[in-house]
């Protein structure tokens, strides 16, 4: 990354406290009325990635990790498609508790673990053939202290946990596909962009969310 990189304005979404409070509420909603909680950027954005993985990853025993898995929705959908080696990690213990409760009955095959992707030691994890992120790099980019340092650590850790022939799939609403390609360019090269709905404003065409697939350099 060079000095011309701009950072996002920090936000409470970049803090552990925010997520802890959100998931405490979601656990109690789930217990009271079975509501599994938010799917960030909507079910369609998860579906597009799951569908891409279904069509492009032949071996359904490939080790898959979901970084910042939240309620585990993406992993449940991958299990529904026949993937068997699934691990969700989140730095928020309450997210892991929620994900376990939500998926336990239908998809007991999915494992969950409390893990801070910007801090914890990777030696107990991986390597993975698929590393998936939806909204977690976004949250990390909103960290109130040293967002850039946290982003850089995240990129380093993803590169270290990814198998030499593995793929890294990231969905973001805070960064454009060009920005993602630039951020990850030191260690990754672009494999493809998963098409997302486009909107046109003032003569410019853009997307609300970007889903980009990378392989290691």
Ligand X SMILES: C[S@@+](CC[C@H](N)C(=O)[O-])C[C@H]1O[C@@H](n2cnc3c(N)ncnc32)[C@H](O)[C@@H]1O
Strands 86-90 and 111-114: parallel
Three-state SS annotation for 117-128: CCCCCHHHCCCE
The SS3 call for residue 3 is coil
Binding mask 20-39 for ligand X (x = CB under 6 A): -------------------x
Contact assessment for residue 68 and residue 135, using Cβ atoms and an 8 Å cutoff: yes
Task: Give 30's contacts (C-beta < 8 A, 6+ positions apart).
Answer: 36, 37, 98, 101, 102
- How many residues touch ligand X (CB under 6 A)? 19
Q: What's the min distance (Å) between Cβ of 117 and ligand X?
A: 4
Cβ nearer to ligand X, comparing 9 with 165: 9
Binding mask 103-142 for ligand X (x = CB under 6 A): -------------xxx---------------xxx--xx--
Cβ nearer to ligand X, comparing 79 with 139: 139
Contact assessment for residue 205 and residue 177, using Cβ atoms and an 8 Å cutoff: no
Question: Is residue 69 involved in binding ligand X (CB under 6 A)?
Answer: yes
Question: Is residue 70 involved in binding ligand X (CB under 6 A)?
Answer: yes
Q: Residue 182: enclosing H or E segment and its boundaries?
A: helix 177-184
User: What are the residues binding ligand X (CB under 6 A)?
Assistant: 19, 39-40, 68-70, 73, 90-92, 95, 116-118, 134-136, 139-140
């Amino acid at each position: 990354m060079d000095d011309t990189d701009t950072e996002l304005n920090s936000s409470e979404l970049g803090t552990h406290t925010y997520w802890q409070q959100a998931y405490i509420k979601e656990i109690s909603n789930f217990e009271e009325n079975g509501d599994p909680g938010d799917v960030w950027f909507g079910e369609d954005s998860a579906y597009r990635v799951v569908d891409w993985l279904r069509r492009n990853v032949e071996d359904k025993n490939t080790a898959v990790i979901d970084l910042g898995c939240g309620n585990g929705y993406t992993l449940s959908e991958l299990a529904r498609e026949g993937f068997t080696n699934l691990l969700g990690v989140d730095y928020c213990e309450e997210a892991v508790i929620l994900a376990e409760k939500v998926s336990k009955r239908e998809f007991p095959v999915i494992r969950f673990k409390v893990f801070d992707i910007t801090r914890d030691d990777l030696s107990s994890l991986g390597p993975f053939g698929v590393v998936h992120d939806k909204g977690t790099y976004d949250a990390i980019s909103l960290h109130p202290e040293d967002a850039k340092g946290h982003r850089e650590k995240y990129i380093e850790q993803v590169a270290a946990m990814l198998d030499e022939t593995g793929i890294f799939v990231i969905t973001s609403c805070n960064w454009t596909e060009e920005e993602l390609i630039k951020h990850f360019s030191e260690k990754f090269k672009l494999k493809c962009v998963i098409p997302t709905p486009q909107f046109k404003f003032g003569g410019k065409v853009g997307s609300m969310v970007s889903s980009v697939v990378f392989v290691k350099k």
